[in-house]
């Protein structure tokens, strides 16, 4: 059972603030995914938790103990680096054994643990090889193995799947989830891929420019984004953001009196397109592009000066969807999200006096 | 194409000539009798060549003993130098305070430019005050002092090529700084360390002025100063000495061939994406 709490962590590199007032308390053995665009401070956060960088201010607690001042080797924290960082002078066996041998475990015990981990990760046949003879995916599994061989309280993973091809990524994703279920540790998993975040996380932390944007379950972050940044960052194809006047003139008008301080967000899957109604109504949009995404089609529709994306499930897609075709857009009003244009914050619907 | 190849060939040929000429001259001289040398220093005549000089010098001159002295002094110095410079260089690499780090490296760097000769008089005075004249310790102390800055600087440059994440990975795997050094930095930088060790060793082995001034007892003399002593004692022709000089190079060449394989090894291949 482990628990991490981060209190007001701030990190400055000279004048740039990489992380700003980061506070978070994890549940026991939670799988937390930190997601955000490149350069938003994700690696910085992991370095602070691992003790590889000293915070400018703030503190790190694990299981109630303040470890801010401890050296990295005094913390029971494992980290898988963005670029693996295997030890080039050692064989795979020695790489896996390193965390144990520096702790002076005896040889027989090391052998047993290494073999157990190697078996789990299916790298038993490479134990005698040097990292330079391994493929990217094999290296990555060695890096994970090295991190899991001693039972850490906290498991830090920095974009561990970013260098893998799609099928290996999916497989490793499953392996990591299984690993999380089998050991008692808090996982802090960093990625810039929102699909990964949604599919793996117990809770997601969305980070932008060093500031927390939202903390929540995948459902909360997806369906109730707290601001425009989160709404745009999470979800693919991207959410549609429209000014209220465009919304009112192309969808069923809501009584918003064309409030200029608001904009509306609609997820692509919540837009329904009606192609049966080809009368020359000026409420109709025009299909400009159709993308096949597998189980769904992303249909781009031009409405006024705006282009919006609707996703059409493959089973309802038919020949009537063609470029240049006029369509009527409809939306379930319940699923429309409102944002304040100035601040980007989400506005609760019941405070809108619709 | 052709011209390019010709230029390459000429360059290679000239450099070979520059390198081989002194060696050739030494070998030819060492194989000659004194009379043949006086007659024509550069001439080569096969019938007058013999190994006499080599035999004479090993018989008449306490060659092995002198070489032993040199080996003892050089090896002891190297051990001390590396015991200090490797940890210091690693410490410099990990120093967070950039101002202090740059200050220290610049100090090391600038020491590389102080000519040995400038320091000789103060060094001699110091050693005689300490009563260390005719004591190997005096030479060892000075050898260490003279070589340390350069070794620290060079090793610092090489160590900083080891990616920081590798060291950080070891730290979060639970390794102490000493373990990082012993199990990662030193093995990864084995090649460069051997090169620095080797060049420093050669410089010390061939060092002449300092041991000559500080060690006078015949019994304590190092190889090179005593070889140069031969020129006044026996004659003004260098045939005899050249033989000695060539023999004094033998251990260096041997050591080189033993470590040659490892010298080229520096590879962080495969550790990073
Ligand atoms: N050692 C450093 N010195 C100065 N600035 C740094 C340093 N490390 C990171 N930064 C800056 O801090 C910010 C956050 O960097 P960080 O590496 O945490 O980003 P990231 O979210 O991990 O990005 P990516 O997804 O590309 O890995 C960046 O603007 C970066 O330039
Ligand atoms: Mg990063």
Cross-chain CB nearest to A131 (options B184, B187, B271): B271
Contact B271 A146 (CB under 8 A): no
Domain ranges of chain A: 4-233, 240-351
Can you give the pLDDT at residue A290?
Answer: 93
Can you give the pLDDT at residue B231?
Answer: 65
Can you give the pLDDT at residue A107?
Answer: 94
Query: How many Cβ contacts (< 8 angstroms) between chains A and B?
Result: 94
Can you give the pLDDT at residue B253?
Answer: 87
Domain ranges of chain B: 2-56, 61-233
Can you give the pLDDT at residue A277?
Answer: 67
* Higher-confidence position of A190 and B103: A190
Q: In sequence order, what are the beta bridge partners of A299?
A: A290, A310
Residues B229-242, mean pLDDT to the nearest whole number: 69
**Which CATH topology does A4-233 take?**
Rossmann fold (3.40.50)
A103: contact with B, CB 8 A cutoff: yes
* Structure ipTM over 0.90, yes or no: no
Question: For residue B261, what is the enclosing H or E element?
Answer: helix B239-263
Can you give the pLDDT at residue A146?
Answer: 93
Residues with CB under 6 A from ligand 1: A 13, 16, 18, 38-44, 82, 192
Mean pLDDT estimate for chain B = 84
Closest C-alpha to ligand 1, atom 23: A39
Q: Is the pLDDT of residue B228 over 80?
A: no
**Which CATH topology does A240-351 take?**
OB fold (Dihydrolipoamide Acetyltransferase, E2P) (2.40.50)
**How buried is residue A84: exposed, middle or buried, by Cβ count under 10 Å (0-12/13-18/19+)?**
buried
A50: contact with B, CB 8 A cutoff: yes
**Which residues on A lie below 8 Å from B268 (Cβ)?**
88
Burial profile A330-345: b = 16 or more Cβ within 10 angstroms, e = fewer: ebeeeebbbbeeeebe
Q: CA of A146: which chain B residue's CA is closest?
A: B173
Residue from A19, A39, A53 to probe ligand 1 pocket by mutation (most atoms less than 8 Å from CB):
A39
* Higher-confidence position of A210 and B212: A210
Q: Is the pLDDT of residue B59 over 70?
A: yes
Dihedral of CA A93/A95/A96/A102: which sign?
positive
Residues of chain A with pLDDT under 50: none
Phi, psi of A202 (to 5 degrees): -75, -45
Kindly report the nearest CA distance between residue B74 and chain A, in angstroms: 30
Residue from A42, A85, A212 to probe ligand 1 pocket by mutation (most atoms less than 8 Å from CB):
A42
Contact A72 B172 (CB under 8 A): yes
Please, which residues have CB less than 5 A from ligand 2, an ion? A 43
Strand order in the sheet with A306-313: A271-274, A326-331, A285-292, A296-303, A306-313
Dihedral of CA B186/B187/B188/B190: which sign?
positive
Question: For residue A196, what is the enclosing H or E element?
Answer: helix A194-200
Ligand 1 midpoint to CA B93 (Å): 21
**Which CATH topology does B61-233 take?**
MetI-like fold (1.10.3720)
Lowest-pLDDT range, A267-271, B13-17, B258-262?
Answer: B258-262
A131: contact with B, CB 8 A cutoff: yes
Closest atom of ligand 1 to A14 CA is 4
CB A266 within 8 A of CB A334: no
Q: Is the pLDDT of residue B205 over 70?
A: yes
Whole-structure pTM over 0.90, yes or no? no
Can you give the pLDDT at residue B227?
Answer: 79
Contact A88 B166 (CB under 8 A): yes
Closest C-alpha to ligand 1, atom 26: A38
Contact B269 A150 (CB under 8 A): no
Contact B174 A71 (CB under 8 A): no
Which SS3 state, helix, strand or coil, does residue B110 take? Answer: helix
Q: Is the pLDDT of residue B261 over 80?
A: no
In angstroms, the CA A23 to CA A60 distance is 10
């Amino acid at each position: 059972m482990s628990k991490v709490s981060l209190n007001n962590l701030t990190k400055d590199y000279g004048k740039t603030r990489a992380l700003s007032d980061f506070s978070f308390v994890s549940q026991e053995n939670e799988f937390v995914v930190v997601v955000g665009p490149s350069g938003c401070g994700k690696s910085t956060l992991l370095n602070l938790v691992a003790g590889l960088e000293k915070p400018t201010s703030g503190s790190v607690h694990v299981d109630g103990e303040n470890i801010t001042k401890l050296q990295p080797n005094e913390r029971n924290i494992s980290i898988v680096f963005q670029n693996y960082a295997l030890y080039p002078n050692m064989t795979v066996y020695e790489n896996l054994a390193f965390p144990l041998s520096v702790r002076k475990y005896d040889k027989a015990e090391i052998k047993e643990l290494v073999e157990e981990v190697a078996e789990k990760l299916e790298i038993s046949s490479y134990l005698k090889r040097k990292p330079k003879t391994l493929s990217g995916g094999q290296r990555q599994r060695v890096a994970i193995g090295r991190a899991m061989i001693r039972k850490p309280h906290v498991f830090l993973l920095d974009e561990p799947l970013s260098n893998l091809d799609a099928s290996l990524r999916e497989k490793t994703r499953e392996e990591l989830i299984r690993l999380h279920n089998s050991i008692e540790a808090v996982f802090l998993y960093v990625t810039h891929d929102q699909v990964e975040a949604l599919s793996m996380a117990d809770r997601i932390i969305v980070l932008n420019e060093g500031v927390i944007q939202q903390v929540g379950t995948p459902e909360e972050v997806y369906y109730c984004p707290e601001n425009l940044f989160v709404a745009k960052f999470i979800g693919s194809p991207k959410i549609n953001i429209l000014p209220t006047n465009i919304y009112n003139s192309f969808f069923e008008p809501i009584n918003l009196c064309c409030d200029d301080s608001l904009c509306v967000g609609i997820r692509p899957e919540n837009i329904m397109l009606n192609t049966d109604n080809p009368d020359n109504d000026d409420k109709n949009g025009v299909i400009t592009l159709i993308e096949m995404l597998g189980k769904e089609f992303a249909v781009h529709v031009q409405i006024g000066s705006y282009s919006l994306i609707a996703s059409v499930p493959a089973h309802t897609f038919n020949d009537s969807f063609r470029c240049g075709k006029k369509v009527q857009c409809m939306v379930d009003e319940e699923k429309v999200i409102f944002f304040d244009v100035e601040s980007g914050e989400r506005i609760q619907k019941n405070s809108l006096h619709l | 194409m052709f011209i390019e190849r010709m230029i390459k060939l000429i360059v290679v040929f000239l450099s070979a000539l520059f390198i081989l000429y002194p060696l050739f001259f030494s070998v030819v001289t060492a194989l000659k009798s004194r009379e043949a040398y006086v007659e024509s220093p550069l001439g080569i005549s096969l019938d007058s060549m013999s190994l006499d000089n080599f035999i004479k010098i090993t018989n008449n001159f306490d060659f092995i003993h002198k070489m032993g002295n040199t080996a003892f002094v050089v090896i002891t110095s190297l051990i001390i130098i590396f015991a200090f410079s490797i940890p210091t260089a690693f410490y410099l690499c990990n120093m967070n305070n950039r101002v202090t780090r740059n200050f220290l490296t610049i100090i090391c760097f600038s020491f590389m430019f102080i000519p040995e000769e400038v320091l000789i008089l103060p060094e001699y005075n110091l050693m005689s005050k300490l009563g260390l004249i005719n004591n190997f310790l005096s030479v060892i102390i000075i050898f260490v002092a003279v070589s340390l800055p350069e070794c620290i600087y060079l090793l610092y440059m090489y160590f900083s090529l080891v990616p920081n994440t590798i060291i950080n990975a070891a730290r979060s795997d639970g390794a102490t700084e000493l373990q990082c050094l012993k199990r990662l930095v030193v093995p990864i930088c084995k090649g460069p360390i051997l090169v620095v060790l080797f060049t420093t060793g050669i410089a010390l082995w061939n060092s002449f002025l300092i041991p000559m001034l500080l060690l006078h007892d015949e019994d304590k003399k190092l190889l090179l100063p005593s070889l140069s002593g031969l020129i006044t004692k026996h004659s003004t022709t260098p045939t005899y000495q050249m033989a000695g000089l060539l023999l004094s190079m033998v251990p260096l060449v041997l050591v080189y061939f033993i470590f040659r394989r490892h010298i080229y090894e520096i590879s962080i291949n495969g550790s990073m994406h």
